[in-house]
A and B are shown apart, each in its own frame.
Chain A
């Protein structure tokens, strides 16, 4: 084991290398590109015996990734934002092939308007695809989660591809100290990929991904894949326990931070959860019983753990760094469906949408969300969903709009 200062992207690349991935189909996109550049450097210098191929699009990249996994090698790839959206047809398709591999997504807001700033709307678009999803909040988690992702996705009870998500910029370009396991220790945790019967060999012809006629077979295979994804809850727990035993680091499917005796908890994913932890500490210092519940595993949805961790809480502040246009925050809707009808479910689920397109979430905003949620729980009136957006931000935006109008006028466009 060595201790290194790594960016989130560097950590993702190390995760792939320690996993002994054989094959890396790649396509560049900000803020993911550092991952494939790092890997390309290692392969080019002969430091890692893998093959990298650069495709002309993410659609082709995921097709090549799935096809190689279906042929029996261990595959790693990475993308972000528009790339994930461009690949989406194949994201759904290769999950149905039951060909396990790992794809890191470096989360970034989606167009339009086009932006480089981070949020989770990109990865939410893949939530119904059959890819499992692990969401990281630190660079250490990124390395460890890639190893966990292969272990879970390749398990015979699961056999599905896995997305490991990290936030663009906030994590991708932030250096943190990371414990990098030795390759032998990593191999002890993650044995060589056993493709089983799913592979192409001259002596064993097989047809994969064939058409079906009618809803009967279609429903059967889709539901089988759903059940396989659900199997991954237990498989993940086993893998995380083994990981902790070997490496001493705990990565539960759902992280609970000072939530046991809390009456109000923040519920969110990703790197901003580290800001929430800081807010929790300060609110605790001020005498408030506040905590954090953070799913790392979002697909499969670890419903039992989430119910248990939130049982008896008075209010939950759900913070969505995504926006389902015309509905609202995705985490909020999913949490509501998980808790509805549970006798000891929290009385209030307050919905906050924030951190879109790289926007920060300030400590004061965490305090305010805790206050609003506590008051709502006391009054029994759930507040309307709220966008985290300050008067200062609106004033700045109005200035930009003023410039846009003035420029159009001055250039004679109007």
Chain B
């Protein structure tokens, strides 16, 4: 629970916006956890927003001549959405400073990318945007792989997950990059993890981020039925289990400190989270891989021991 919970407009579910800004009928897959998070984020951010997008699943939200957004949109390329955001932000500031547009025509500049861009190809341009103290909000829908091309391993893929490029018995040999800490180490205005299955926590963080200036990041764990191999109806349950098992710590970096906004009192065994997803089926079938399951649990335990 955030120490500033009393300042928020979002204390419980009924406080969440009842008007939904994102249009229906997009090209995302049924049960897309990324779209769920974007829905919830957009409702709090409001429509005076320009999304600057990098190549990924959400590039297919705006397909000529349709868009689900009430505000503006600019698709750039995979590596450079933060640089695109720099150009838009600077141009809007120039137009205001030189009196060519009134202040009310200003827009909130939001980068929207997946983990492929946020953790990998776009990290250089992201890092440079933080260096320059760019006033922008970065939303990463993290579905833990190159989802739009069929879930190949990315730097956001968790250890042991089977992906379409790591088909072996041990899955992906690497470890999920700690993007939160990379950002936090550079002392930006704000960094937070969220997931669509925890909408009140998400809304508070969006609210807080929206009121700040400078570089801000929201990493939204985005359960992905097609990439993680589960039934679309289970997306919310998987998101909730990611939090309750401690696999996806909900936290924020603000004023130089990291605060966990939700501490599961008694963490559910990680196995409960893994078991629902086909990408971890090789840990249970044809026989249980206790060594790997224990390793994954131990890593989660070690994280929380360090955090406590």
Contacts and interface: CB of A to CB of B under 8 A. Distances in A.
Given A90-B77, A210-B75, A71 B95 contact: yes
Contact of B72 (A22, A68, A90, A207): A207
B2 interface: no
Interface string B37-55: 0000000000110101000
Contacts of B29: none
A392 B127 CA distance: 50
Given A53-B86, A65-B87, A67-B83, A205 B72 contact: yes
B28 interface: no
Interface of B: 47-48, 50, 52, 59-60, 62-64, 67, 69-77, 79-80, 82-88, 90-95, 98, 100-101, 104-107, 124-125, 127-128, 131-132
Contacts of A89: 77, 79
A89 B79 CA distance: 10
Interface size grouping (class) on chain A = 35 or more
Interface string A30-57: 0000000000000000000101011111
Interface stretch (A166-174, A195-203, A295-303): A195-203
B139 to A, nearest CB: 17
A211 B59 contact: yes
A209 B60 contact: no
B87 A206 contact: no
A61 B132 CA distance: 13
B72 A57 contact: no
A67 B95 contact: no
A71 B91 contact: yes
A49 B93 CA distance: 13
A208 B63 contact: no
26 contacts: A23-B87, A23-B91, A25-B86, A25-B87, A54-B132, A55-B86, A55-B125, A55-B128, A56-B131, A61-B83, A63-B76, A63-B80, A65-B87, A67-B91, A68-B94, A70-B74, A72-B91, A90-B76, A90-B80, A93-B77, A207-B67, A207-B72, A208-B75, A210-B75, A211-B62, A212-B63
Contacts of A15: none
Contacts of A65: 87
A213 interface: yes
A217 B67 CA distance: 16
A60 interface: yes
Contact of B73 (A59, A90, A208, A217): A208
Contacts of B107: 200-202
B91 A56 contact: no
Contact of B91 (A68, A202, A207, A213): A68
- Most B C-beta atoms less than 10 A away, residue of A49, A56, A71, A89: A71
A59 B74 contact: no
A211 B73 CA distance: 11
Contacts of B50: 200
B64 A64 contact: no
Contacts of B82: 60
Contact of A213 (B63, B79, B101): B63
- Most A C-beta atoms less than 10 A away, residue of B48, B92, B94, B98: B94
